Amino acid sequence: MNYETSIRAADLPGDLSESPSRRRRAIVIGIVLLVAAAAIAFAMFGRGGDPAATAPGAGGRVQAPHVTVIVPGSKQVARAISATGVLAARREMPVGVVGEGGMVTRVLVEPGDWVREGEPLAVIERSVQAQQVAALQAQIGVAEANARLAEQELERARQLVSRGFISQADVDRRVSTRDQALAQVKVARAQYQEAVARTGRLDIRAPAAGLVLTREVEPGQVVGTGSGVLFRIAAGGQMELRAQLAEADLQLVREGVPATVTPVGSAQRFEGRVWQVSPVIDPQSRQGAARIALGYDAALRPGGFAQAEIIAGQTQAPVLPESAVLSNDAGNFVYVVDANNKVVRQPVRTGQVSELGIAIVEGLTGQERVVLSAGAFLNPGETVVPERAAPRR
């Protein structure tokens, strides 16, 4: 039995003959669905990626994020001025060669040693000077012997003049010879004392009690009046910070106000007081120095860098929690919610930090609505729903 082997396309089942058109229809529908999903995603996350701001609310409107704000007002706070400067000895004494100098035989101190007033720091070789002193001392003996002889001759002349053996003129000459001999004794003694004093000045001594800061001499070195500074001593070991202040800040500082100094790289804080305010302003930097007196401590090294907070009286200023103050490369700032409930970035200058918070010395009046926290998640110009924070107890 023979069967027909050719089959027409129209005789195929309907699902097979229409598969290309259905496939195209499915592709079109898929593309439409993808476009719709993309539109929905853009509507939800296109405004800064804040789901809370784009969540649909009542009536189909977009709901703004809720933020906690505070109105800080104004409080009585200490007016603190921050400054930086260099540590130094309050009274630094450079010590050099006083006498004629010579070769150094011994150095008796090291940097960091404490010395008393007049204590020798270094000794200079003095063999020649010692011989000169001995010679002058011998000359005193010669002058005294001549003076005794002249005195004896005068006494004999006075006895002879009464008997008429010599004239009064001879007696007067012997009186003059006696006086010259006595004067020679005084000259010899003065020369001897001068030599002793010169020899004593060969020792390099501390002009006052204090702390040795530097030593620039070694045994065997030949020194003289042109050798410069051999030692530097901090009188009494007292230190200071030479804080550089802006012209406006310098006007607020007075002698005697307290200050806190923190050396760079140290967690220690040292209490001091301003003992001198610069009477002039540098015309180039427009700054002046406030010198803060400090006691001795091993952590206070002259030449080191330190920060200072100078308390220059009291002032009224807003005080914010640390969470409300942000910072970037441009400085410190806070986020403020304006009358239209939009976020505004407000630059501020901070003052003293205390247990109450951070004092804001510039940028706020205290009547603004300041974002308390989560400011890092906000953008300037964004609309928010402000909620007042509960007052502190």
222-240 per-position pLDDT tens digit = 998 888 899 999 999 999 9
Quote the pLDDT of residue 5. Answer: 40
Residue 304: both structure tokens together: 């080191």
pLDDT at residue 354 greater than cutoff 90 = no
Q: Which residues contact 367 (CB under 8 A, 6 or more apart)?
A: 71, 73
Longest Cα–Cα distance of the chain, Å, equals: 203
Instruction: Sketch the domain layout of the chain as residue ranges.
Output: 12-45, 66-74+318-388, 82-90+238-313, 92-121+206-237, 126-201
Residue 186: both structure tokens together: 């005084």
Q: Which residues contact 259 (CB under 8 A, 6 or more apart)?
A: 241, 243, 271, 272, 273, 274, 290, 292, 308, 309, 310, 311
pLDDT at residue 31 greater than cutoff 80 = no
Q: Which residues contact 214 (CB under 8 A, 6 or more apart)?
A: 111, 229, 231, 232
Q: Are 54 and 204 in contact (CB under 8 A)?
A: no
Superfamily for 82-90+238-313? Efflux pump adaptor protein, beta barrel domain (2.40.30.170)
CATH code at 92-121+206-237: 2.40.50.100
Helices (H), 247-365: 247-250
Q: Which residues contact 197 (CB under 8 A, 6 or more apart)?
A: none
Quote the pLDDT of residue 16. Answer: 40
In whole angstroms, give the CA distance from residue 370 to residue 368.
Answer: 6
C-alpha 82 chain-centroid distance: 11
Quote the pLDDT of residue 129. Answer: 79
Read off the pLDDT band of 40 (50, 70, 90). low
Query: What is the edge-to-edge ordering of all strands in the sheet holding 357-362?
Result: 319-320, 357-362, 349-354
- Closest to 132 measured CA to CA, from 199, 36, 32: 199
Helix (H) or strand (E) holding 179: helix 168-200
Read off the pLDDT band of 36 (50, 70, 90). low
Quote the pLDDT of residue 47. Answer: 45
Q: Which residues contact 334 (CB under 8 A, 6 or more apart)?
A: 320, 324, 325, 326, 345, 346, 348, 360, 363, 364, 370, 371, 375
What DSSP designation does 299 have?
A: T
CATH code at 66-74+318-388: 2.40.420.20
Q: Which CATH architecture has domain 126-201?
A: Orthogonal Bundle (1.10)
